[in-house]
Chain A
């Protein structure tokens, strides 16, 4: 039985709560389906699921406006769905098909959408962080008030290029929000075994960057922190760091012996902190929705996810000639 503490009374609107519920559930069901397709051999290679961390991207997207940019690591499916990319195109990239966002050339870790200002999934840990500063530089240069969400993990936070980027971002007052998705583990290495910093966001202080830690399992807290950071950056006050304390329920990638943490630890998180259950409680206990309402949403989501899986199975494999395209102009 869940031992979540009952939610405080909130004055968040029904529509907003339903939106969070839908968006987070879409990511979770999509990822579960991706896991199944992987198990069936339809997806191969490296595939990193976002299950458990849904509140982070959904909360931050709720604080974004048209024109804002986002860039992240290889654990990128949730980010793409949350910024409105088509689940069919994402799933078909996972299966390496022509209908995928990168026409089967990128795979799970490498997808992009100019339309949605999604500057990619990046497979090399930390590599996207300086790029995020560059995007923010470009927006500032063009004189608009867009911001860039630059996501990276607790493990990535130990890459030197993150600190080169912090220094430049603050030096140039760039409108970039560094979002550290601290899910407590980098593969099999827990944060405690990779750093003595008590908290990762505080490292920004050495460069003059403000920031804060956020309960990344609470979509409302994420949204509130996101709004604050966005306002700060839009006002030209420069970069900001949000350290999202979150948790991944599944293995690092599809091949993970799971020997570095206990089952109990994972179960406790699911029972006590699950972001979707939290919103579900708010909806039900606030009288905003009935069980049947939520079941109808679940059904919708299932249909969207199944449709994406069908598309991803039926889309043809890219022609061999694709191998030699998109290397040079």
Chain B
């Protein structure tokens, strides 16, 4: 199953098992979503459960917050994360804080899905990775799946979660585990073990990372598309790295991270988003605070550059396997 099908499957399951769930957004109902994540859901579950909205991001998210505070479980789609900004006020000022300011009387059990990330030649308005804008806000949870199997389980967990969850879908891996080698064909999910998606309901707990590859020489922290880039980079570079897929950024599975870094004593952090004030800064700070006496080298970050996401030079911008491998070697060379 592709990641698109897995997400659709999760939404289908949620709609079927819980009458409080609604699914909506631009082109989501009749058209089935620009990435087809909701194809067929309106037909199957009806227009009151799965429907279109006008191009009104602020209104879409604001209305969803109202529904959620009433007790429904809206799952909204922002067509690309890059279009989220008009809704950011509602996400930060309303969704994230409703529980706190009502002393727990009102809550906001909603999910906001948005495709993120680059690698599709989408330039500055179709490629951004704004996860740090969400992890910076207390009251929000932020999830980034890296494969179909996790996407379904995490999305169902996000829908069941009593708090607002930002569910970021790296669009470059919707159809296959893209590893940053842009001039090679991408394998399909169908021939990848994590493309095997169980039928029916299951959840993966939020806040649980997973070790994708065991290793002894250094730890690579990644999420989303960068998990596959990391795996390719260390494989090809013959690097004995432990690759951790964070899966959720907040809540963060600090234990899995620190256990690994205390073992390997070296750490490289990856993300597609820009460097400055990115989520990697948080990870690097946590690793140095928790593992200071174990570290043999400074923590390195491999990220997008501190520029707008470019139209040309995309592959110079994208932190591909060569950059990741080079950083790993640098960190390993520190004596």
Chain A residues in the interface with B (C-beta under 8 A): 44-46, 96-97, 102, 104-107, 109-110, 123-126, 155-156, 158-161, 186-189, 193-195, 259-260, 317-318, 320, 322-324, 327
Contacts and interface: CB of A to CB of B under 8 A. Distances in A.
B313 A126 contact: no
B310 A105 contact: yes
9 contacts: A45-B121, A123-B82, A123-B125, A123-B126, A187-B27, A187-B31, A189-B54, A323-B307, A324-B305
Nearest to A158: B54
Contacts, number: 100
A124 B30 contact: no
Contacts of B26: 186-187, 189
A320 B312 CA distance: 9
Interface stretch (B55-63, B289-297, B323-331): B55-63
Interface of B: 26-27, 30-31, 34, 52-56, 58-59, 82-83, 85-86, 120-126, 305-308, 310-313, 316-317
B312 A317 contact: yes
A96 B27 contact: no
Contact of B312 (A104, A161, A324): A104
B171 to A, nearest CB: 13
B313 A323 contact: yes
Nearest to A194: B54
A141 B65 CA distance: 41
A156 B83 CA distance: 12
A189 B30 contact: yes
5 smallest CB-CB distances across A and B, nearest first, come from A158-B54, A123-B125, A188-B31, A107-B311, A96-B312
A58 B133 CA distance: 42
A322 B54 CA distance: 37
B275 to A, nearest CB: 13
A156 B26 CA distance: 12
Contact of B122 (A45, A161, A187, A195): A45
A46 B122 contact: yes
A320 B313 contact: yes
Which of A44, A110, A260, A318: most chain B CB closer than 10 A? Answer: A44
Nearest to A317: B312
A323 B56 CA distance: 32
A158 B26 CA distance: 11
Contact of A124 (B27, B83, B305): B83
Contacts of B306: 327
Nearest to A195: B54
B31 A126 contact: no
A83 to B, nearest CB: 22
Contacts of A318: 312-313
B313 A159 contact: no
Given A189-B54, A193-B52, 17 more contacts: A104-B311, A105-B312, A109-B123, A109-B125, A124-B85, A125-B83, A126-B86, A155-B55, A160-B56, A160-B86, A188-B27, A188-B30, A189-B30, A260-B31, A320-B313, A327-B306, A327-B307
Nearest to B312: A96
Given A125-B55, A188-B31, A194-B55, A45 B310 contact: no
Contacts of A324: 305, 307
Contacts of A44: 121
B136 to A, nearest CB: 22
A324 B304 CA distance: 12
A157 to B, nearest CB: 9
A123 B312 contact: no
Given A155-B55, A159-B56, A260 B30 contact: yes
B111 to A, nearest CB: 22
Given A125-B83, A189-B27, A155 B54 contact: yes
A46 to B, nearest CB: 6
Nearest to B36: A257
Contacts of A125: 55, 83
Contacts of A97: 312
A187 B34 contact: yes
A288 B123 CA distance: 46
A45 B311 contact: yes
Contacts of B124: 110, 123
A177 B66 CA distance: 36
Given A320-B316, A323-B310, A160 B59 contact: yes
Which of B126, B305, B311, B317: most chain A CB closer than 10 A? Answer: B311
A259 B54 CA distance: 19
A73 to B, nearest CB: 11
Nearest to A253: B34
Contacts of B31: 187-189, 259-260
Given A105-B312, A106-B311, A45 B126 contact: yes
Contacts of B53: 194
B126 A46 contact: yes
Contact of B317 (A45, A126, A323): A323
